[in-house]
Amino acid sequence: MVGDILQGYADRGVFRGFSRGASRDGKARFQMIWHRDRPFDLTVDTRRGAIHCPMVLPQVPASSAMYREFRAFLKACQSADRPDHRRIDDRKALVTCANRSGDVSLKMTIRDADYEYGIRKFIHLIQETYLVFLTEHFDYQVEAFDLDPDRP
């Protein structure tokens, strides 16, 4: 089911590339080419009830203001103050991030085995990270993604 949902996003052009990796022991792996034409790896582990992307944002020091702001952004995405269609319901899923050597990962723990809800919210969260959160971090984007600052 999760693979079919991700394939649907790929068919609609959300991802520039998409492939299914090996699946065994309750783990399914996927790779997509997405924001800034970068590869994103996703693992869905039904034994642990988790969806994981090991690198969502590269080159973000753990002690940086940007990392603190990103954690606050994730918390806001789960806030009851947010409209239902944009909120991650914490009764259904919990989102956490980690920082390893400057690479920020995301993990969603599914609380009720509703992987359709989980994968859709997870993809939307990464999309919102790039289209909303990073708009306030132009210098970071130039450096981390080797963008030309003179091109609009």
pLDDT tens track for 82-120: 998 899 999 999 999 999 999 999 999 999 999 999 999
Domains of the chain: 2-137 (3.30.1460)
Cβ within 8 Å of residue 123, ≥6 positions away: 6, 9, 14
Two tokens, residue 86: 């944009």
Instruction: Write down the pLDDT at residue 124.
Output: 95
Instruction: Write down the pLDDT at residue 149.
Output: 74
As a whole number of angstroms, the distance between CA 85 and CA 7 comes to: 22
H/E stretch holding 143: helix 138-144
Amino acid code (one letter) for 43: T
What's the pTM? 0.92
Listed as ranges, residues in the chain with pLDDT below 50 are: none
As a whole number of angstroms, the distance between CA 117 and CA 6 comes to: 12
The H helix count followed by the E strand count for the chain is 4, 6
